[in-house]
C-alpha cells in the first residue's frame, strides 16, 4: 500500500511531502489507533468525514473486512485516489463518496474523522446521520483523531 501512496502523492498532494516518508507511522498506524479503541462488529457502517487520501477509512477497511466504510470528501481528486487505491488492493468494503459532509443523507453507526475540522463543525455535520440501533460494545457516535479539541 505504501508504494501506491508514494505514486499517487507524486501526482496529487495527498500527504505533506515532508510526511510521506513517515506514511506508516503518521497516517496508517495513526488511523489504526481507532481499532485500539473499538473492535467494530460485522455489519457496522462507518462514515469517514474528510477522508482526504483515505485516512482513516482505508487502513480500517483492511483491518475490519466485514464493516462497511463510506470515505467522504468534497474534493473530487482525493476521492478519485481513494477509489483507485481501493480497487488496486481489491478492497470491497469501502465506498468513496464525493460530497460535502452536510449533504450526506445516509445513516451509519459511527462517524470517524482525522484532523478534519473543529469538533463543533463535526458534531453539526453529524446530526441526523447516526443510527439509533447499537451493534457494538460502545454506543454509536463520533470517533475523532484530533490533536486539539
The per-residue pLDDT for range 49-63, each reduced to its tens digit, is: 999 989 999 999 999
pLDDT, mean of residues 25-44: 91
Query: Which uninterrupted H or E stretch holds 106?
Result: none
Write the CATH number for 8. 3.40.50.150
Query: Which uninterrupted H or E stretch holds 94?
Result: strand 94-98
Q: Which residue range is the domain that position 126 belongs to?
A: 2-145
Residues near 37 by Cβ (< 8 Å), separated by ≥ 6?
A: 143
Per-residue pLDDT, 87: 97
Per-residue pLDDT, 120: 92
Task: Calculate the average pLDDT of the chain.
Answer: 90
Give the tens place of pLDDT for each residue, 97-145.
999 999 999 999 999 999 788 889 999 999 999 999 999 999 999 999 8
Output DSSP code: residue 137.
Answer: S
For every residue of 15-79, DSSP letters joined together read S-TTTGGGHIIIIIHHHHHHHHH--PPTT-EEEEET-TTTTTHHHHHHH-TTSEEEEEES-HHHH
pLDDT, mean of residues 74-82: 95
| Number of domains observed in the structure of the chain | 1
Per-residue pLDDT, 149: 41
Residues near 36 by Cβ (< 8 Å), separated by ≥ 6?
A: none
Residue among 70, 77, 113 nearest 91 (CA): 70
Helices 76-88/2-11 angle, 10° precision = 150
Amino acid at each position: 500500500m505504501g508504494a501506491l501512496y508514494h505514486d499517487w502523492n507524486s501526482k496529487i498532494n495527498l500527504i505533506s511531502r515532508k510526511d510521506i516518508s513517515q506514511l506508516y507511522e503518521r497516517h496508517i498506524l495513526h488511523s489504526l489507533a481507532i481499532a485500539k479503541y473499538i473492535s467494530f462488529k460485522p455489519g457496522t457502517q462507518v462514515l469517514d468525514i474528510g477522508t482526504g487520501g483515505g485516512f482513516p477509512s482505508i487502513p480500517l477497511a483492511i483491518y475490519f473486512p466485514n464493516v462497511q466504510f463510506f470515505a467522504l470528501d468534497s474534493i473530487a481528486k482525493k476521492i478519485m485516489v481513494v477509489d483507485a487505491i481501493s480497487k488496486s488492493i481489491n478492497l470491497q468494503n469501502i465506498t468513496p463518496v464525493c460530497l460535502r459532509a452536510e449533504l450526506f443523507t445516509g445513516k451509519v453507526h459511527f462517524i470517524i474523522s482525522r484532523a478534519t475540522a473543529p469538533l463543533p463543525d463535526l458534531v453539526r455535520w453529524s446530526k441526523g446521520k447516526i443510527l439509533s440501533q447499537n451493534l457494538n460494545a460502545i454506543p454509536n457516535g463520533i470517533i475523532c483523531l484530533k490533536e486539539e479539541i
